[in-house]
């Protein structure tokens, strides 16, 4: 595709439910990142995939959060047993290789009621 695609653009869920957020990076980009942005805040790093290497999961806030990247392309961020504090915009980004600029998706606005 022309850019990084994220779906859904908006997700409203009830506390305790599981959610899956999808990211389709730019074709050929080896690096993929997930960030979280709460209202009025900066970007909080969650997880980073680089090629076939083990992902850097150091930013995941709890074991309710997990992510995978299948075939070096599409990535899914899963949040289990959602809590109200999980409400935020979840942004995905990709880049061709390390030390190049990131291309961001439009984000998924998650609201946990």
Partner 1 sequence: SQELEQSPQSLIVQEGKNLTINCTSSKTLYGLYWYKQKYGEGLIFLMMLQKGGEEKSHEKITAKLDEKKQQSSLHITASQPSHAGIYLCGADWTGATNKLIFGTGTLLAVQP
CA 79, CA 85: separation in Å to the nearest integer?
12
Of the pair 48, 65, the CB lying nearest partner 1 is at 48
CA 86, CA 110: separation in Å to the nearest integer?
8
In the complex, what is the shortest distance from the CB of residue 16 to partner 1, in angstroms, rounded to a whole number? 29
Residue with tokens 């600029």: 101
Of the pair 13, 30, the CB lying nearest partner 1 is at 30
Contact status: 43 vs partner 1 (CB under 8 A): yes
Of the ranges 12-20, 60-68, 70-78, 93-101, which one interacts with partner 1 (CB under 8 A)?
93-101
Q: Which of 23, 33, 34, 75 binds partner 1 (CB under 8 A)?
A: 33
DSSP state letter for 85: G
| CA dihedral angle for residue 51, residue 93, residue 105, residue 24, rounded to 10 degrees | 10
Contact status: 74 vs partner 1 (CB under 8 A): no
């Amino acid at each position: 595709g022309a850019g990084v695609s994220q779906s859904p653009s908006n997700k409203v869920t009830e506390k305790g439910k599981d959610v899956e957020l999808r990211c389709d990076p730019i074709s050929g980009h080896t690096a993929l990142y997930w960030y979280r942005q709460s209202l009025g805040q900066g970007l909080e790093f969650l997880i980073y995939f680089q090629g076939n290497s083990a992902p850097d999961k150091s930013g995941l806030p709890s074991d309710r959060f997990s992510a995978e990247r299948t075939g070096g392309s599409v990535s899914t961020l899963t949040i289990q047993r959602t809590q109200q504090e999980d409400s935020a915009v979840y942004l995905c980004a990709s880049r061709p290789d390390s030390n190049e600029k990131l291309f961001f998706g439009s984000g998924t606005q998650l609201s946990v009621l």
